[in-house]
Structure 1
Amino acid sequence: MRAAILEGVKQMAVRERKRPEPKPDEVVIRVKSCGICGTDQHIYHGHPGSAEVTPPIVLGHELSGVVVDAGKQVTHLKPGDRVSVDPNIYCGHCRYCRSDRAHLCQNLEAVGVTRDGGMAEYCAVPAQNCYVLPDELSFDEGALVEPLGCVWHGLSRLTLSPSYRVLIIGGGFIGQLFLQLVHHAQVASVAVVEPVAEKHALLKRLGAHHVFRPSDRADMEAWKDGADVVIECVGKKETMEWAVSAAAKGGQVLLFGVAAPDTLISLSPYAVFSKELTIKGSFINPYTHDEAIALIRQKAVEVEPLISHRFALEELPAVMEKYPDLHVSKGIIRL
């Protein structure tokens, strides 16, 4: 089989590799679609993903495909089943797993992070991590169940009210998912700050009442201390600091964008105290696959129209090298 193998920092090559065999509790899927996540770019540049990464490794934790082989202990899946994969594998015995916080597992493993993932023609995954796709969902939609599940978990960390003003910082793929969920929550208003003007029309179609650029100083000033909820989807020092300053008294700030591990931000403890702010993080997608599939199936969230680029497996080494220059909102690998 062909696989895009990360062999070291910024070193990826497409090579022939032996097709995996399933362990007793695993299935092998023929990968049909695999999303390229910002985390894949972090890993490509030598940073950790949801866990530490040891090359050589096949990346790709957003994947869907068709079951072609099943281990002898697998009874609920069979060859031919169309599935989406939840990549996260929990140990089940650490203090976090045993206190209903499995996503914080001390021994976390993940498909496409600690073990080979979906940037290959075939991938072996635990059967319990597979979710059968409804017939009406495409393989591209199946691959994007995972990031939607992460966003759904992030939203669950917040309290929304019909009277609230919500500000989303970053109108890329993740911001577009958050926007749709917030729009369906029927808040008083939702604004998105996004520097790329070409994205503004789509953001308005998805439910934004107002879209502006960081260079629009009047808007930036108007939102200082103005948002009941701020959702930061960029992961840069300046956007995270602005997220805190944009929060109103009693506001909630969700730092969802993944920053580099060495990023530090300046924070006024007095502002947190005097405005009684709640600042939260959000990590992966603890058992949210069913909800994410339902959201797509019910057309509460659109994901396919958000795909900006589709690539072939052979293109991946060049694509990963020049990814920031391609202006990808969401990239999908078609296999």
Structure 2
Amino acid sequence: MKVAEFQGIGTIRIEERPVPKPSPSEVIVRVMVCGICGTDQHIYHGKPGSASVVAPRVLGHELAGEISAVGEQVTSFAIGDRVTVDPNIYCGRCNHCRGGRMHLCDHLKAVGVTQDGGMAEYVTVPAANCFSLPAMLTFEQGAMMEPLGCCLHGIAQLDIKPGASAVVIGGGYIGLLMVQLLHLYGASPIVVSELDKSKHAIAVELGATCAYSPVDTDLMSVREEQASGGFDIVIECVGRAETMQTAIHMAGKGGQILLFGVADPSTDITVNPFEIFSKELQIKGSFINPHTHNAAIALVQQGKVDVTRTISHRFSLEELPDAMASYPSLRVTKGILHLT
């Protein structure tokens, strides 16, 4: 089989390997579609993912495909079944797992991070991490259940009531999923701050009230125009110091702020404690996607969330090394690999 092997910072090469065989509790998935996550780019440039990455490694934690082999203990799936994969593997033994916060597992493993992932024609996955993909859904939709699941976990950190004013900072793929979820919760208005003006119309199409460029528009004036005194909900989906600091300023009294964008580990922000005190702000983080796959599947199956509208680039496996090297210049909203 062919794999795209991450061999160190800035290097991915197409290699050939034997097709793997499953252990008793595993399945082999013939990968049909694999998403390219911002985290894959972070890893490519030497930053950590959800856990440490040791090269050589096949990346890719957003994937869907068909089961081509099953381990002898696997009874829940059969060869030919269509599946979407939750990549995160928890130990079940540490205090976090036993306390119901398994996503904070002290021994977290993940397909495409600590073990080989979906940027390959075949991948080994624990059967417990596979979810049946309904026949009405495509493999592209199936691969996008992981990022949607992450957004669902993030949204669950907030107490969103119908009519709550909201602003999403960053209108990329994740930001536009957040817009759709806020719309489902009944938030109004929903404002998007996004540099790329080509995304503004899509944001409105997917549920935003309006979208602005922070370069051309004073966001503080937008705050007063759309949510006098500040927004009830602020979701930051960029991960840069300046946008996280803006998120705090955009919040109104009693506001809830979700710092969802993945920042460089060396990034620090300047926070005014008096602003947090005087506005009684809640600032929260969100890490991966504990047990959200079924909910993600249901929302897409019901047509409540569109996970493919903002896929902007599709690549073959052979195109991946060049694509990863030039990714920032391609202006990708969401990129995916097709392996068939």
The answer to whether the Cα contact below 8 Å between 2:86 and 2:129 also exists between their aligned partners in 1 is yes
What RMSD, in angstroms, separates the aligned Cα atoms of the two structures? 0.9
Task: Tell me what 1:134 maps to.
Answer: 134
State the partner residue of 2:310. 306
Q: Which amino acid counterpart does residue 279 of structure 1 have in structure 2?
A: I
- Within the candidate set 258, 265, 283, 2:262 is matched to 258
Q: Which residue number corresponds to residue 301 of structure 2? A: 297
Rounded Cα–Cα distance in structure 2 between residues aligned with 1:188 and 1:11: 44
Query: 2:93 — aligned with what?
Result: 93
CA distance in 2, matches of 1:271, 1:186: 27
What SS is found at the alignment partner of 1:96? helix
Structure 1 position 188, deviation (Å) = 2.5
Show the counterpart of 1:60.
Answer: 60
How much does 1:220 deviate?
A: 3.6
Does structure 1 retain, via aligned residues, the 8 Å contact 2:200–2:210?
no
2:277 is aligned with 1:273: yes
Opposite residue 332 of structure 1, the aligned amino acid is: I
* Alignment size in residue pairs: 335
Q: Which consecutive unaligned segments of at least 5 residues does structure 2 have? A: none
- The alignment-based identity, stated in percent, is 55
Asked if the contact 1:251/1:275 (under 8 Å) is kept, the reply is: yes
Write the mapping of 1:192-231 to structure 2, written as runs, cut at 5 A.
192-223=192-223, 225-231=229-235
State the match for 1:171 in structure 2: 171
Report the Cα distance in structure 2 between the residues aligned to 1:219 and 1:115, rounded to whole angstroms: 42
1:281-320 Cα shifts (integer Å, max 9, x gaps): 0000000000000010000000111110000000111111
Give the whole-Å Cα distance in 2 for the aligned partners of 1:162 and 1:29.
Answer: 41
Query: What does 1:26-45 align with in structure 2 at a 5 Å threshold?
Result: 26-45=26-45
* Residue 321 (structure 1) aligned with residue 332 (structure 2): no
2:164 and 2:186 in contact (8 A); partners too: no
**What SS is found at the alignment partner of 1:136?**
coil
Is the CA contact 1:214–1:220 (under 8 Å) kept in the aligned structure 2? no
Task: Give SS of 2:95's match.
Answer: coil
**What's 2:74 paired with?**
74
Q: Distance in 2 between matches of 1:80 and 1:66?
A: 5
Query: After TM superposition, which residue ranges in structure 1, 4 or more long, deviate above 2 angstroms?
Result: 216-222
* 2:286 maps to 1:282: yes
Q: What is the letter of the counterpart of residue 94 of structure 1?
A: C
SS of 1:266's equivalent in the other structure is coil
Structure 1 regions of 5+ residues with no counterpart?
A: none
Q: Distance in 1 between matches of 2:210 and 2:176?
A: 13
1:143 aligns with 2:147: no
